[in-house]
Amino acid sequence: MSRPVRKIAINTGGGDAPGLNAVLRAVTLAACERGLEVWGIKHGYRGLIEREPGGLVRLDRQAVRGIMHLGGTILGTANRGDPFHYPTCEGNTVVPKDRADDLIARFHEEGFDALIAVGGDGSLAIAQKLVERGLPLVVGVPKTIDNDVFGTELTFGFDTAVAIATEAIDRLHTTTESHERVMVVELMGRHAGWIALRSGIAGGADVILIPEVPFSYEPIIEKILQRESRGRHFSIVVVAEGATVAGGGVTIREVGDEFRRVAVLGGVAERVAKEIALRTGKETRSMVLGHLQRGGGPTTFDRLLALRFGAGAVRFLVEGCESGMVALRQHSVELVPLAEVAGKTKTVDLHGDSVTTAREMGICFGDEPPGRFPLDGPLPASLDPVMKPCS
Ligand code: F6P
């Protein structure tokens, strides 16, 4: 029989997502109401591994006052703080080291009974590895704008990202139509197309390209020309950053400075735009919406989901649960075994009703057979149906 939970540690890891502060508030208040102590670990696991002053902060009512609607995380986060490959200085170089045992030792030393790990699939996989290494009790809270965490119908942060992306697509419509251009907008989501799919449908995109459907250019060009033949001289193409042309790989770009350069997904919109311009002769522009999708406060839906997840995590802990992850299932917050979900990715269901809805509305995914988007009338004189490259 495990000992009762009295002292909880909580961290936020990986890319931030709107709603993190709402989780922190709900966990803290739900714990305070039961007389439990909550401590925040700063910057992922750094506050526990390093013994820097202020690495662990007491979360009480005062600490979480007025933060529920704010974006980001008051604890800070870390993308490269995996305790199993923890960046550690050796001389002049930084090498990855396994610091999981140090982390677990400090956890016991501080008298913690449980960890609430708020993170995406990477952070949840790390949490499961910590359990396997000997951390006694972990409850994961699924966070990410990408919505790709397995085992939960939704993650918090996703609704906000979709709302921001939809508004961006709405705004792009007016300028794209005025200039009679094609606009290609690149959205986040890593290897899952949830943000592109949902905002593309809601925003009235003509083409949606997602990683789950490798695309060809022919149907995309057909779709754009079909619109031309209907007198619609502009088109909006939404492309997920992880989308690939059939038989090709993802588009990668390098970011960072002279000291550290990392390869990240990015640049597919520019590639797609160049190809569309070449094949249609239409003026085509691209833009990357980027971190705007993650910044700022959560929508009401995400705020509520985050609060429900946070309160649920504490509830399951005091009820004596095993390590698990809070999850939204059929409108209700449940606990699912961490081992069953960690390390898996939830991608778009190609037979689900979102994809079906989009296809039924004539949205192109770039995998349609020839002739799926037939011309409805003559093309304007300036456009050659044989798709001559522009001169
Ligand atoms: O996982 C969230 C996410 O925003 C992805 O959609 C995106 O690919 C990635 O993080 C970007 O990470 P970073 O902020 O490290 O560039």
Is 353 one of the catalytic residues? no
Which residue's alpha carbon is nearest to atom 13 within ligand 1?
15
For strands 86-90 and 56-59, give the pairing: unpaired
Decide if 59 contacts 94 (C-beta within 8 A): no
Pocket test for ligand 1, best of 80, 146, 239 (most atoms within 8 A of CB): 146
Cα 120 to ligand 1 centroid, rounded to whole Å? 11
* Distance in angstroms (rounded) separating the CA atoms of residues 294 and 227: 33
- Please identify, by atom number, the ligand 1 atom nearest to the C-alpha of residue 17: 2
* Distance in angstroms (rounded) separating the CA atoms of residues 30 and 16: 23
| DSSP line for 30-99 | HHHHTT-EEEEESTTTHHHHS--TTSEEEE-TTTTTT-TT-SS-TT---SS--GGGEEEEETTEEEEE--
Which residue's alpha carbon is nearest to atom 12 within ligand 1?
15
**CB contact burial 155-181 (16+ within 10 A = b; e otherwise):** bbbbbbbbbbbbebbeebbeebeeeeb
- Please identify, by atom number, the ligand 1 atom nearest to the C-alpha of residue 146: 6
For strands 7-12 and 56-59, give the pairing: unpaired
Which residue's alpha carbon is nearest to atom 14 within ligand 1?
15
Instruction: Check pLDDT > 80 for residue 4.
Output: yes
Instruction: Check pLDDT > 90 for residue 391.
Output: no
Report, as an integer, the average pLDDT of 213-224: 98
Report, as an integer, the average pLDDT of 67-74: 98
Decide if 233 contacts 180 (C-beta within 8 A): yes
Tokens encoding 178: 């005025």
Model pLDDT, residue 382: 77
Selected residue with higher pLDDT from 94 and 194: 194
242-274 confidence digits (pLDDT tens): 999 999 999 999 888 777 788 999 999 999 999
Domains located in the chain, CATH noted: 7-156+298-341 (3.40.50.450), 161-294+349-360 (3.40.50.460)
What contacts 176, CB < 8 A, 6 or more positions away?
Answer: 182, 183, 234, 235, 236, 285
| DSSP line for 304-344 | HHHHHHHHHHHHHHHTT--SEEEEEETTEEEEEEHHHHTT-
Of 173, 142, 165, 172, which Cα lies nearest the Cα of 155? 142
Location of structure tokens 């997904």:
265
Model pLDDT, residue 384: 56
Please list the residues that pair with 88 across neighbouring strands: 95
Instruction: Check pLDDT > 90 for residue 386.
Output: no
Decide if 277 contacts 390 (C-beta within 8 A): yes
Angle at 309 between CA 306 and CA 314, to 5 degrees: 130
Instruction: Check pLDDT > 90 for residue 2.
Output: no
Q: What sign does the CA torsion over 83, 84, 87, 91 have? A: positive
Instruction: Check pLDDT > 70 for residue 390.
Output: no
- Please identify, by atom number, the ligand 1 atom nearest to the C-alpha of residue 266: 8
Of 123, 87, 17, which Cα lies nearest the Cα of 262? 87
- Please identify, by atom number, the ligand 1 atom nearest to the C-alpha of residue 79: 15
**CB contact burial 77-109 (16+ within 10 A = b; e otherwise):** bbeebbbeebeeeeeeeeeeeebbebbbebbee
Cα 293 to ligand 1 centroid, rounded to whole Å? 10
Q: What sign does the CA torsion over 16, 17, 18, 23 have? A: negative
| From 16, 146, 159, 302, the catalytic residue | 146
Cα 244 to ligand 1 centroid, rounded to whole Å? 18
Report, as an integer, the average pLDDT of 152-169: 98
Tell me the pTM.
0.95
Cα 63 to ligand 1 centroid, rounded to whole Å? 28
Instruction: Check pLDDT > 70 for residue 1.
Output: no
Pocket test for ligand 1, best of 20, 190, 255 (most atoms within 8 A of CB): 190
Task: Place 389 in a pLDDT band, splitting at 50, 70 and 90.
Answer: low
Task: Place 94 in a pLDDT band, splitting at 50, 70 and 90.
Answer: confident
* Distance in angstroms (rounded) separating the CA atoms of residues 251 and 266: 6
Please list the residues that pair with 286 across neighbouring strands: 184
Q: What are phi and psi of 28, to 5 degrees?
A: -65, -50
Which residue's alpha carbon is nearest to atom 10 within ligand 1?
15
| Residue 254: burial class (beta carbons within 10 Å; 0-12, 13-18, 19+) | exposed
Please list the residues that pair with 115 across neighbouring strands: 9, 138
Report, as an integer, the average pLDDT of 36-63: 97
- Please identify, by atom number, the ligand 1 atom nearest to the C-alpha of residue 145: 2
Model pLDDT, residue 89: 87
Decide if 265 contacts 242 (C-beta within 8 A): yes
Task: Place 181 in a pLDDT band, splitting at 50, 70 and 90.
Answer: very high
Q: Which residues line ligand 1 (CB under 6 A)?
A: 15, 79, 120, 144-146, 188-190, 241, 264-265, 294
Cα 15 to ligand 1 centroid, rounded to whole Å? 6
Cα 119 to ligand 1 centroid, rounded to whole Å? 12
Cα 347 to ligand 1 centroid, rounded to whole Å? 16
> How far apart, in Å, are the Cα atoms of 298 and each of 78, 144, 326?
20, 12, 19
